[in-house]
């Protein structure tokens, strides 16, 4: 009688044989590291991350809810690759806003910065006039 472990290993081996046979006849079947619809990670481009946790081996379309409007959005694998590898976003960061809300938020922050700097300039001017 075979042990459960032996049995599992036999099943695993048969599965691998079946998968490699299927891949040979259909090259569009992705390898284990990158599932269908996924985009491979270029680890060299993620070197800016200092993390103890394992880096991903692929990106895949990820649904999320916009924190401002509550809209249901998809953060695509391609957008993730751009964010982490080109824009050098940190690996812990995730998409939180849809595109329209992101543009609104950027405009809001820029306006707040402009007002703050104008106020600061005015304060400095007053201070200089007092002396």
Provide the CA 83 distance to its chain's centre, in angstroms: 7
Instruction: Give the span between the Cα atoms of 99 and 71, in whole angstroms.
Output: 11
Residue 101 binds to Zn ion (criterion: CB under 5 A) = yes
Positions of E strands within the chain = 39-40, 58-59, 62-65, 72-75
Residue 96 binds to Zn ion (criterion: CB under 5 A) = no
The region of 38-46, 84-92, 96-104, 106-114 touching Zn ion under the rule CB under 5 A is 96-104
Residue 69 binds to Zn ion (criterion: CB under 5 A) = yes
Residue 66 binds to Zn ion (criterion: CB under 5 A) = yes
List contacts with Zn ion (CB under 5 A): 66, 68-69, 71, 98, 101
């Amino acid at each position: 009688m075979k042990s459960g472990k032996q049995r599992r290993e036999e099943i695993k081996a048969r599965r691998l044989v079946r998968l490699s046979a299927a891949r040979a006849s259909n090259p569009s079947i992705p390898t284990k590291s990158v599932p269908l619809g996924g985009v491979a990670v270029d680890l060299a481009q993620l070197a800016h991350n200092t993390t103890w946790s394992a880096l991903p081996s692929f990106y895949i379309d990820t649904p999320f809810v916009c924190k401002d409007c509550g809209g249901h959005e998809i953060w695509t694998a391609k957008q993730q690759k751009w964010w982490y590898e080109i824009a050098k976003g940190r690996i812990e960061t995730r998409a939180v806003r849809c595109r329209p809300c992101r543009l609104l938020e950027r405009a809001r922050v820029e306006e707040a910065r402009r007002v703050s700097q104008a106020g600061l300039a005015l304060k400095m001017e007053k201070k200089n006039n007092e002396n």
